[in-house]
Chain A
Amino acid sequence: MSATMLPIVDHPDAAKPFVNDPNRSRWHDQALWFVRSKRDKQAHSIPEWEYLRDCASRIKTHTIANLAGYLEEFEKNATARGATVHWARDAEHHNEIVLNILRQHHTHRIVKSKSMLTEECGLNHYLEANDVEVVDTDLGERIVQLRGETPSHIVLPAIHIKKEEVGDTFHQHLGTDDGASDPSYLTEAARSHLRDKFLAGEVGITGVNFAIAETGGIVVCTNEGNADLGISLPKVHIACMGIEKLIPRQRDLGVFTRLLARAATGQPITSYTSHFYGPRDADSELHIVLVDNGRTRLRESEQFRASMHCIRCGSCMNTCPVYRRSGGHSYRATVPGPIGSVLSPTRDAESYKSLPYACSLCGSCTDVCPVKIPLHHQLLAWRGELVGKKLLPWSKRMSMTMASRIFQSPRLFNFTGSVGRTALRVLPRWMTHNRFNKWTVARDLPEPPKETFHDWYRRHRSK
């Protein structure tokens, strides 16, 4: 995937179908706001929330700074527990490593639990192209997999799909009743369908929520129990993780397990928080794949380093007014929303140059982030970088240069103001409300004020 040139994402264009479907856009907005509200309730239920965020941020800052040492410590301790640690340069290398392990075990069927890293690496397609059947076992991921889609949210992969659509998909693939859309009924159908897949899985693949340098252990959090079920049956477990998932000590988990589920879905903790220390028994294997894929380069950036704190809770998406209304697919990136708009351009600034603009700079993402990534500051910083790189369209560059000139000269500013006010008063509606002025598509222009503040001030105060 990294080798091919990515198409340039135009967020406003990509969001158009979703935004122009007012029912879906509104429904999506409300569904995510519901999750955000649950998060607030849980966050407010512990008085030390801000203290925990601060601790988490400091632990991550410390770890990322000393990452090499902690990775080596992790490797040493994980190996001592019997795990095999692999290092992957990039997405392609990661996929090769996983395929190589599967081939050593003559595997053609794997079960996989949710892992944004394997999405980032395009593992599913790679394995399928190499004759391996991949079954995503997280219900939301299974839904999008059956529909030939990708997740639109990192925690709620199928948040953009209505239950009637899930019903249609299940009717087609799992033989559920035509027109059935009751979530309990559909979940039950998926349960029995996936039970068979679990029992047939030859290797289990999972992501990693936290890896602990001090113990060499890894922690995987799920609500469904699919990760545990998928890896407790076969003898081989492959756990794939970005190198930023490391934390130094087991007791640091106290901070992160308190933050993660509260921030993500408004639960006090996930149903299952599983700690793996080496393989199951002498007869089993645990492979841990540590993936760089641009992370060491991101770490070198003073400006964007803090984005490596991310624990993939998705709370910045749930709160983002742009994400809620435009849907995750409009970002055309594995990780959408505010954090995705920071991370994606670090991979490829040209392709993802419109994402830092899919943001009103309201700052809500920064307020909810459990590890205190200054998201909206980073999005603003990206805009500065993009201007420097001359990656903006001519129209935007031109209008910004003009605006800058006008704001620098009081005389020019006053003159432009008076032209604008007069124009608003005298121009016929069709001159201002037409297809060339996108601002007025769903809005009206303001009433021009009768006098400026300057005039008012002169009249009242200058005597």
Chain B
Amino acid sequence: MLFLEPDCMNQPLEADTTARRAILDRLNTRTISAPPLPDVDPSQVITYDDPVQEFLDKLSLVGGEATFVDAAPQAEEVLRQIPVFREAKRVVSVFPEAVPGTMSTDGIDDPHAFATIDWMIARGEFMVAENGAIWIDGNTLPHRVLLFIAQYLAIIVSQSQIVSNMHQAYDRIENYDGRYGVFVSGPSKTADIEQSLVLGAHGCRKLQVIIVRD
């Protein structure tokens, strides 16, 4: 057991700046010539004639499910078909026009308060066809833990909001100025025990994507 004297706490490590200097000096001492940064040529990378179909194929490969609706408010009907949604007691929704939540996040500062939520209803900004991923903008989340702590996750996204590949995806978020964003591709999963795929490692056990036709 090692207990600290109070006065050695809260002291920044003095070596920090010398280490910084030493690392940068060593890097600068040895100049290496290298070619300039390449830019990806858009004509060299795959795009899809039917990106939505490609997205559906890839989403199913990564263990997610998708359903189409004509308007956002029909999303709740889709979820009602799912037994674990019907039984859900605590639902947080950032898209109440589509699916109303059962608990509000207003005034909750401590993310631990969400430890027992069953479903999280999130808003997706756009889909990526090549890998079934959906970009979620952290600014739409009152707490980012909601995406990961919920037992089940639903993402609602507009059908027209789709790109073919990750190059186009990063073009779309080129000037993103939030603090957090994530590409979600399928539910949480692991294959750490003998390469057997198990859905629902730590995060959501199921990912239901609801695509709104527009």
Contacts and interface: CB of A to CB of B under 8 A. Distances in A.
B189 interface: yes
Interface in A97-152: 97, 100, 103-104, 129-131, 137-140, 143
B86 interface: no
Given A131-B2, A223-B188, A225-B148, A274 B23 contact: no
B203 A229 contact: yes
Interface in B16-60: 16-17, 19-20, 22-24, 26-28, 30, 32-38, 40, 44-46, 58
Contact of A268 (B23, B32, B62, B204): B62
A187 B170 CA distance: 34
B115 interface: yes
Interface stretch (B75-83, B88-96, B128-136): B128-136
A72 B23 CA distance: 11
B106 interface: no
Interface stretch (B97-105, B117-125, B190-198): B190-198
Interface stretch (A253-261, A338-346, A396-404, A422-430): A253-261
B174 A250 contact: yes
Nearest to A56: B38
A241 B201 CA distance: 25
A347 interface: no
A271 interface: yes
A365 interface: no
A143 B192 CA distance: 9
Contact of A88 (B4, B19, B44): B19
Interface in B125-174: 128, 130-133, 143-145, 147-149, 165-167, 169-171, 173-174
Task: Say whether chain B's binding surface is mostly helix, strand, loop, or mixed.
Answer: loop
B167 A254 contact: yes
Nearest to A296: B26
Contacts of A100: 11-13
A253 B176 CA distance: 14
A270 B185 contact: yes
A58 interface: yes
A162 B23 contact: no
A176 interface: no
A267 B22 contact: no
A229 B149 contact: yes
Contact of B37 (A157, A166, A248, A258): A248
Contact of B201 (A162, A226, A278): A226
Nearest to B36: A62
Contacts of B4: 103
16 contacts: A61-B34, A62-B37, A72-B24, A131-B1, A143-B193, A186-B193, A223-B190, A226-B201, A226-B202, A232-B148, A251-B170, A268-B185, A269-B185, A272-B182, A272-B184, A276-B179
Interface-central residue, B40, B130, B192, B200, by most chain A CB under 10 Å: B192
Q: For chain A, which range describes its interface: under 10, 10 to 19, 20 to 34, or 35 or more residues? A: 35 or more
Contacts of A228: 144-145, 147-148, 182, 203
A374 interface: no
A237 B173 CA distance: 24
Contact of B192 (A72, A158, A249, A253): A158
A42 to B, nearest CB: 10
Interface residues of B, number: 83
A233 interface: yes
Contacts of A249: 37
Given A87-B16, A191-B200, A232-B148, A163 B167 contact: no
A275 B139 CA distance: 12
B185 A271 contact: yes
Interface in A24-75: 31, 34-35, 46-48, 51-52, 54-55, 58-59, 61-62, 64-68, 71-72
Contacts, number: 259
Interface of B: 1-4, 9-13, 15-17, 19-20, 22-24, 26-28, 30, 32-38, 40, 44-46, 58, 61-62, 111-112, 115, 128, 130-133, 143-145, 147-149, 165-167, 169-171, 173-174, 176, 178-196, 198, 200-204
A278 B149 CA distance: 21
A194 B202 contact: yes
Interface-central residue, A61, A66, A87, A249, by most chain B CB under 10 Å: A87
Contact of A87 (B19, B184, B195, B196): B19
A130 B192 contact: no
A191 B201 contact: yes
Interface in A292-322: 292, 296-297, 299-300, 305
A416 to B, nearest CB: 46
A96 interface: yes
Given A104-B10, A162-B194, A68 B34 contact: no
B23 A292 contact: yes
A277 B44 contact: no
B133 A273 contact: yes
A16 interface: no
A22 B80 CA distance: 52
Contacts of B44: 48, 51
A71 B27 contact: yes
Q: Which 10 A-B pairs have the closest CB atoms?
A: A225-B203, A65-B34, A268-B131, A140-B192, A232-B145, A224-B201, A68-B27, A183-B196, A87-B20, A254-B167
Nearest to A190: B201
Given A194-B202, A233-B145, A272-B182, A251 B171 contact: yes
A6 interface: no
